[in-house]
Amino acid sequence: MKKITTILITLISISACVGGYNEVNTIYPLSQTVPVDNISELISHTDTIPLKDSVLRFFPFIKKMLIDNDGNFILADEQNGVIVYDKDGTFVRQIGSEGRGRGEYTSLISICMTEDCRQIYLLQTGSVLKFNLPDGEFVNKVDIPISNYDDICPAPDGGFILFASNPENESDFSTDFFALSRFDSTGRCVEQMLPRKDYVVSMGIFTQTAEKQYFMRPQEGSDTLFRIAGGRVGPFCRIDFEEQAIPNKYVFTSADNTFEGFKNYMKSSYYKLPIYFHNTAGHLLFTAAGPEAAQTTFIINHSTKKGYRWTTPPRTPSPLTVHASDS
């Protein structure tokens, strides 16, 4: 088996990375991968980077992890906020803090970094806070409509794109709504994209990828993995689980209400919810919920279109959790 190198950062796994397809290809994860029972057979070695000079040693829930051009790690953690470590694991700074004053946030929904790695955007309910990455200084606050936005990625000239998983009333899919809204630097909505009529789960929406651009994971009712660059959204590749792909609107057709429908959706015999896409120089890695909600991780070689997969039973910790990737 071909060995894969990983770098572990104290409870955090990082895979090596950038690159990808030159055109939109279709990936068949179940037929192009072979199952493995022991992923250590795929790993040549691991390097551990201990976190130093910080009392923040425990991260209970990492919402997102970004890597800048200097190899610094930016962690958005539910308990500790936004923390920056350098590539050697030395604490650099905290960005923003919880509160209601200037440069403070009352909720931390998600973060993103501009493609030039100069600024960090923090999404909270009703606003986006901007900070300079090199020194952590607060830049400004941009007010946005109070809505059910789940994730953020950058757009040119200080703008940003927000994702809303479902309509305000999650049981009302009688009319189309737009999942993506692009805002300018003043918080004015200038474009809406991705009209939807299907239910989606608000996790793993945007992932930082090659050239500090972003992936948007496939949505329910769609098999396309999108790349977001320069504020534009375009297809990267298709994910096809073939006869084991979840049917359209399964959440609504399998039960009388959304809650029961989602339970049936997760426990169904299909593959669904492909999330946490990470693109490397040689590989694409992602996870998906399989039959009975078991988590399956796929890693596929860009050149050979072949790879491996491993399955973790429900409510069992995965042996490998990837939060970010870079060059």
Which pLDDT value is given to residue 54?
A: 66
DSSP line for 31-98: HHEEE-S-GGGGEEEEEE---BS-S----S-EEEEEE-TT--EEEEETTTEEEEE-TTSBEEEEESEE
Tell me the C-alpha distance between 20 and 297, whole Å: 18
Q: Are strands 104-105 and 97-98 parallel, antiparallel or unpaired?
A: parallel
Which pLDDT value is given to residue 153?
A: 95
Tell me the C-alpha distance between 117 and 219, whole Å: 27
Which pLDDT value is given to residue 250?
A: 83
At 232, list the tokens: 């534009």
Which pLDDT value is given to residue 20?
A: 41
Per-residue pLDDT of the chain (327 residues; tens, 9 = 90+): 555 444 444 433 333 333 344 467 899 999 999 999 988 888 888 889 888 876 666 777 888 999 998 999 999 988 888 999 999 999 999 999 888 899 989 999 999 999 999 999 999 999 999 999 999 999 999 999 988 899 999 999 999 999 998 776 666 667 778 889 999 999 999 999 988 777 778 888 999 987 788 999 998 767 899 999 988 999 999 999 999 999 888 887 777 777 788 888 889 999 998 999 998 888 999 999 999 999 999 999 989 999 999 999 888 888 888 888 876
Q: What is the DSSP letter of 11?
A: S
Q: Among 108, 54, 45, which Cα is nearest to 81's? A: 108
Which pLDDT value is given to residue 316?
A: 84
